[in-house]
Amino acid sequence: MKRFIGAGLTFLAFLLLFAGSVAAQGANVTGQIIGLDGNPFPNVTVTIKSDTGRTFTTKTDKNGNFIQVGVPDGIYTVTLASPQLPQGFSTHFQQNSSNPQPWNINLKEIAAASGESGKAEAEKQAFANMKKNFDDATAAMNDGDTIKKQLATATADQKSDLTSKMDADYQTALTDYNAAEQGVGAKDTGNHALIWASIGRADDALAKYDDAATAYQNAINMKPMPDYYSDLSTATVNAAVAQHDPAVLQQKTTDAMSDCDKAVQLANSAPSVPGAPAGGSTSVADRCYKNIGIVLSNKGDLQQAVDPLKKATDANPKDAQAWFLLGSAYVGSVQSKTEGDKEVFIFDPNTADALQKCSDLDPTGALGAQCKDMLSSVNQMSGGVSTSVGEKPAKGKKK
């Protein structure tokens, strides 16, 4: 009897020892591999390696399934190898025998997720590069504008160096703005428009008016804005005055006026913004039409400057500068004819009114003073000037 009990205890001890040995060896790991085509991936070598270096190797069957026995609990690196995976693939799993989970790997889903992640990272980097180029360009533009203001009071010997520095700044800005444009996402129309408008301003500063007009048009195509149309108008009329063909000049001036009309229409239709200054469309119209008038006046095309300047004063009757420019355009484009012994000057009937309004709006300023002087001259000439000998010398003769 004692021998029987002893034998039973010995057998029980053996069973317990065996059970402990099995537990120490670990549990089975199962899983399935799905290929890049979305189908089960057969004949893939699956290598399972612990952080201690212990390694198991198995293969998938025709259904992409694999099994590995005796894997102890822990964290493992799983590597796949196949001729269809020339670079291999690795990932991590945790073995927990108390809560076993299949180690499934779907390469198609992983590739898609990685592609989206990579795309997002690339877009993020492109945006960062775009912003840096844009900021650098804007800094260069600001430097160029600062130098431009200095030129107004610079001495003759300073102007050459300052002009060279200014042009270099504007060229740097143009280069960096173009680089920024390359980094904008295809669907980011707002930034595309902003950068194209900035390219236009850099071209303007370098007197590349046709290029500027193209850039502003690109901005408008992306996002029509009143300011973009206004800038396009100024670039177009600047390009116009460089033309030697009167027909081309007239057409481009007409186009510039049309662009101002569109700018005003957009400003009028824009929803009001709380806190924004009133008179947005008035400001756009005044600035846009007046700029056309300034460019034409500076070129000496005073007769053509009248219409845009009239529109500027219609938009903002309190703009003394616009009235001054309009009055000057009237005076500069005066016609004359000879009647008997007099040269009669034919002023536009609105000349005196324009000059008077300029004087009233700026009674103590430089513009007001010039308008008073011109008005006085107009009044003196309105009755005509005698061309008789002894009263007024004829042209080309002395008293």
Mean pLDDT of the chain: 86
How do residues 108-153 score in pLDDT, each as one tens digit?
888 887 766 656 666 777 788 899 999 999 999 999 999 999 999 9
0.75 cut: is pTM over it? no
pLDDT score recorded for residue 5 = 43
Q: How many residues does the chain have?
A: 399
The partner residues of 91 in beta bridges, in order of sequence, read 78
Cβ atoms 25, 70 nearer than 8 A: yes
Find the mean pLDDT for residues 332-338: 88
Place 75 in a pLDDT band, splitting at 50, 70 and 90.
very high
Alpha-carbon span 389 to 399, nearest angstrom: 8
Alpha-carbon span 192 to 149, nearest angstrom: 29
pLDDT at 13 over 60: no
How do residues 187-231 score in pLDDT, each as one tens digit?
889 999 999 999 999 999 999 999 999 999 999 999 999 999 999
pLDDT at 49 over 50: yes
Place 397 in a pLDDT band, splitting at 50, 70 and 90.
very low
Cβ atoms 325, 301 nearer than 8 A: no
Residue 63, both tokens: 């259904």
pLDDT score recorded for residue 342 = 78
% the chain with pLDDT above 70: 84
Q: Is residue 284 exposed (0-12), middle (13-18) or buried (19+ Cβ within 10 Å)?
A: buried
> What DSSP character marks residue 208?
-
Indicate the fold that domain 26-108 takes in CATH: Immunoglobulin-like (2.60.40)
pLDDT at 274 over 80: no
Contacts for 35 with CB less than 8 Å, ≥ 6 apart: 41, 64, 84, 107, 108
pLDDT score recorded for residue 22 = 41
Domain ranges of the chain: 26-108
Q: Is the dihedral of CA 37, 43, 44, 50 positive or negative?
A: positive
**Strand arrangement of the beta sheet that strand 65-71 belongs to:** 65-71, 27-34, 105-106
Buried b (16+ CB within 10 A) or exposed e, 154-180: eeeeeeeeeeeebeebbebbbebbbbb
pLDDT score recorded for residue 105 = 93
